[in-house]
């Protein structure tokens, strides 16, 4: 899979750079167009993708009837976006025996003010549940939760054990709950109509992949419920669609061959991209897709929102022919966007080789690699989900890549006990040995003139388990992945000369949305360690850290590394010190572990940030000390007095500076919202870094970059110090798990460059107009 993806990104586009499309229609439409890069190829993929849609519609369009929209919702016939289904089992209560819908959520749209949801309605006479579409507040709880399910008809609680038994016995069914369609004025939600149940039941599959799911694998749970084969992850209608589109890939290949006057390479290329569009569609056309009801993401949720194949109780079956989420043309469109942007000036090649046995052909190479991490993701098992469909269309073009029925597994570096008779220890050893061998190969094959780079992506499962309030440093320090990676590199005699956080994933993935998500990868910069690297003691290591870390951190701050990434980024300079020595000896003569070094680096980060307090004014130092203890909460006056003596300012000056409120023996910091609105940084009596920082954040939240720029333009050097303070406050909030506050300080830094651009912009415009502050 990975090799194929690399081929379509770096190998194929350059081969067809500057070519015009071969299909007559586009060729004539754009007769005088200069096709740059792989635009012509992208245009052909778009054209033949559309052709596939039209052909598929002729063959299977009858399975996707339009829906009758009730009069009160605008009437008429509407194209379906999705059918919403619930899995069902028979209620175990002998007196009931109803078909129990298993529903995680009845919500269809949670948009404030126009909520839509489903109400289960029971006909007690026949013990049958049907559904009504409701609007407004009041969505009922689902029938499945973490502990089990319950029957809406008789109220019996049903443990998962029973649900599994029914699934394994092949007795799990499905019931249509609702239809979502493209109404005249937007989405409409209607109750199931008979014609639609008939259409779904009428889909007859043939020639589908017959491969088995792994008995047990990382990230798979569906086998427990009776899904044993890859084809079980799709409804019959989805299988019909996938086989139809997949067959059409071969037909496109023939057509392009003819229309390009026998250009085999080109027709293979177009077919490859369209086969990938089919495999992308499997991610949206599976019975493991949820219906996402939140207004930001309203629509079909794809299977691989996480790198796992998880059970879904109520699923959304997308219509490939709609114009909404998950439709075929949409999936093709994503691909053409990539092809158009692919680098087409330099040719690349992608080959499949086991990294642990890299041999000749790789001497003096520049190596940049993103290795697997322990048992983080079961790549090979998961990629079979796509592979079985790609193989169907592409084994003729890439016989070597698709030689095996499923993805090759034996060489995969992954610490999964499932491959070692359940032994965690053997799995760990296999992974660590393999990783070490890989790093040693890398060190021996690398080119001495350049460093080698290794990517380390954050272990997302750890972050997600943290109620979505995870914040940077606290999480990474517990991560064995990090340690293994660093230990492996050190054991292979690399020294780490730098680490840089890098954003490499879309920010709307679940872990990032609405949370303080980390940079998705860290780049570790490595060079071979010299053979005569000295030994050192713990004390000297700490001294070296103390000497070097302050400047390194200042550089990271000046480079605008997000506060949320600072702890990870500081591992770089810290490890640069640690890995310079062949060993750091503890007082008992044993070698210091990477884990210990990481902890020491993290402690030092705190100290260095605290030392930066010397740059703040006395009022700010006091406010910081207070904040560390009480945050924005109230505290006793006496404590404030003591703190203020320690920091050498009088309490009254903080009140005067407008950042503190003291009343009735209690003291608290003013929240950003409470700051006076008639503030002017030019004439303010006591300007403090604290206030500037808080006001910058308030302006950013209320008015965006321009609001902040107006302030920044007038506070001079306070601006830079405010940014340093944001790092310090961020780190405090992270330790205290004050997620919202942490996010505010993080955004101030993240927006910094944009704000400075806005300052420039402001200066240009206010040169002619009256300034905001004077």
Ligand X SMILES: C[S@@+](CC[C@H](N)C(=O)[O-])C[C@H]1O[C@@H](n2cnc3c(N)ncnc32)[C@H](O)[C@@H]1O
Task: List interacting residues with ligand X (CB under 6 A).
Answer: 2, 354-356, 370-372, 379, 411-413, 457
Nearer to ligand X, 247 or 453 (CB): 453
DSSP 418: G
Longest CA pairwise span in the chain (Å): 89
Nearer to ligand X, 83 or 374 (CB): 374
CB of 383 to ligand X, least distance (A): 7
Nearer to ligand X, 420 or 630 (CB): 420
CB of 457 to ligand X, least distance (A): 6
CB of 373 to ligand X, least distance (A): 7
CA atoms within 13 A on the CB side of 42: 22
CB of 412 to ligand X, least distance (A): 4
Beta bridge partners of 123: 128
CB of 147 to ligand X, least distance (A): 34
Q: Report the distance separating Cα 6 and Cα 13, nearest Å.
A: 11
Q: Report the distance separating Cα 386 and Cα 402, nearest Å.
A: 12
Nearer to ligand X, 350 or 356 (CB): 356
Nearer to ligand X, 350 or 542 (CB): 350
- Could you tell me the two tokens for 364? 């003096």
Beta bridge partners of 591: 585
Nearer to ligand X, 320 or 488 (CB): 488
Nearer to ligand X, 164 or 503 (CB): 503
- Give the contacts of 689 (CB within 8 A, at least 6 positions apart): 616, 617, 620, 718, 721, 722, 725
Residue indicated by tokens 């809406």: 152
> Residues 637, 640, 645, CA angle at the centre, nearest 5°?
130
3-class SS at 310? coil
Quick one: which of 403, 407, 401, 396 has its CA closest to 271?
A: 396
Residue 286: C-alpha distances to residues 62, 222, 598 (Å): 20, 13, 43
Report helix, strand and coil shares of the chain as percent, to nearest 5: 45, 15, 35
Tell me the DSSP string of 4-41: HHHIIIIIHHHHTTTPPP-SHHHHHHTTT----TTHHH
Nearer to ligand X, 189 or 379 (CB): 379
CB of 372 to ligand X, least distance (A): 4
CB of 462 to ligand X, least distance (A): 15
CB of 349 to ligand X, least distance (A): 15
Quick one: which of 630, 516, 614 has its CA closest to 566?
A: 516
Nearer to ligand X, 83 or 220 (CB): 220
CB of 666 to ligand X, least distance (A): 52
Q: Report the distance separating Cα 103 and Cα 175, nearest Å.
A: 11
CB of 4 to ligand X, least distance (A): 11
Beta bridge partners of 525: 453, 498
Nearer to ligand X, 342 or 457 (CB): 457
CB of 542 to ligand X, least distance (A): 33
CA atoms within 13 A on the CB side of 681: 24
Nearer to ligand X, 64 or 379 (CB): 379
């Amino acid at each position: 899979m990975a090799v194929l993806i690399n081929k379509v990104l770096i190998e194929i586009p350059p081969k067809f750079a500057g070519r015009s499309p071969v299909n007559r229609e586009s060729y004539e439409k754009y007769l005088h167009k200069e096709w740059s890069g792989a635009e012509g190829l992208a245009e052909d993929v778009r054209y033949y993708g559309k052709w596939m849609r039209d052909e598929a519609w002729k063959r299977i369009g009858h399975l996707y009837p339009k829906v009758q929209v009730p009069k009160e919702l605008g009437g008429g016939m509407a194209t379906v976006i999705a059918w919403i289904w619930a899995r069902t089992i028979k209620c175990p209560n002998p007196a009931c025996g109803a078909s129990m819908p298993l529903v995680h959520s009845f919500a269809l749209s949670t948009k404030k003010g126009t909520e839509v949801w489903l109400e289960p309605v029971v006909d007690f006479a026949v013990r049958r549940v049907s559904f009504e579409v409701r609007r407004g507040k009041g969505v009922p709880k689902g029938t499945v939760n973490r502990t089990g399910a319950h029957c809406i008809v008789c109220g019996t609680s049903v443990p998962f054990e029973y649900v599994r038994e029914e699934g394994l016995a092949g007795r799990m069914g499905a019931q249509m709950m609702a239809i979502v369609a493209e109404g005249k004025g937007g989405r409409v939600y209607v109750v199931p109509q008979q014609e639609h149940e008939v259409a779904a039941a009428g889909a007859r599959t043939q020639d589908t992949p017959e491969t088995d799911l792994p008995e047990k694998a990382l990230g798979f749970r569906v086998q427990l419920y009776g899904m044993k084969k890859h084809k079980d992850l799709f409804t019959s209608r989805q299988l019909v669609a996938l086989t139809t589109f997949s067959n059409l890939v071969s037909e496109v290949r023939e057509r392009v061959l003819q229309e390009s006057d026998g250009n085999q390479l080109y027709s293979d290329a177009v077919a490859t991209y369209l086969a990938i569009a089919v495999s992308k569609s499997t991610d949206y056309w599976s019975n493991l897709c949820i219906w996402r009801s939140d207004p930001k993401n309203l629509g079909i949720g794809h299977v691989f929102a996480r790198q796992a194949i998880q059970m879904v109780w109520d699923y959304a079956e997308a219509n490939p022919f709609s114009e909404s989420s998950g439709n075929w043309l949409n999936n093709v469109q994503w691909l053409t966007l990539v092809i158009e942007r692919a680098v087409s000036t330099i040719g690349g090649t992608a080959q499949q080789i086991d990294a642990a046995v890299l041999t000749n052909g790789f001497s003096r190479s520049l190596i940049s690699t993103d290795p697997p991490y322990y048992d983080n993701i079961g790549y090979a098992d998961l990629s079979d989900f796509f592979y079985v469909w790609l193989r169907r269309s592409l084994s003729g073009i890439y016989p070597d890549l698709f030689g095996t029925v499923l993805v090759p597994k034996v060489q995969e570096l992954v610490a999964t006990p499932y491959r070692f008779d359940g032994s965690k220890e053997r799995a760990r050893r296999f992974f660590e040995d393999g990783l070490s061998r890989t790093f040693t190969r890398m060190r021996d094959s690398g080119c001495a003139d350049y460093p080698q780079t290794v990517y380390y992506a954050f272990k997302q499962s750890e972050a997600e388990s943290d109620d979505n309030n995870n914040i940077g440093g606290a999480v990474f320090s517990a991560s064995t992945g990090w340690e293994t990676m660093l230990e492996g590199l050190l054991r292979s005699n690399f020294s780490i000369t730098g680490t840089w956080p890098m954003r490499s994933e879309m920010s709307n993935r679940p872990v990032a949305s609405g949370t303080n998500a980390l940079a998705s990868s860290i780049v570790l910069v490595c060079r071979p360690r010299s053979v005569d690297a000295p030994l050192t003691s713990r004390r000297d290591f700490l001294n070296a850290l103390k000497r070097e870390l302050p400047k390194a951190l200042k550089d990271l701050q000046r480079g605008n590394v997000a506060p949320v990434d600072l702890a990870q980024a500081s591992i770089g300079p810290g490890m640069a010190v640690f890995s310079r020595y062949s060993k750091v000896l503890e007082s008992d003569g044993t070698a210091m572990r990477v884990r210990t070094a990481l902890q020491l680096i993290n402690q030092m980060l705190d100290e260095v940030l605290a030392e930066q307090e010397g740059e703040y004014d006395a009022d700010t130092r006091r406010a910081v000390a207070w904040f560390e203890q009480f945050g924005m909460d109230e505290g006793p006056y006496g404590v404030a007095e003591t703190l203020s003596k320690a920091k050498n300012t009088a309490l009254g000056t903080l009140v005067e500076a407008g950042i503190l409120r003291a009343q009735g023996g209690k003291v608290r910091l003013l929240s950003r919202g409470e700051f006076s609105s008639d503030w002017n940084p030019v004439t303010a009596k006591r300007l403090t870094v604290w206030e500037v920082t808080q006001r910058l954040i308030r302006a950013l939240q209320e008015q965006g970059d321009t609001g902040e720029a107006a302030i920044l333009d007038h506070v001079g050097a306070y601006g830079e110090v405010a940014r340093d303070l944001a790092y310090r406050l961020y780190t405090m909030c992270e330790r205290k798990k004050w997620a919202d506050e942490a996010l505010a300080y993080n955004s101030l830094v993240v927006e910094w460059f944009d704000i400075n651009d806005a300052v420039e912009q402001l200066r240009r415009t206010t040169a002619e107009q009256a300034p905001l502050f004077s």
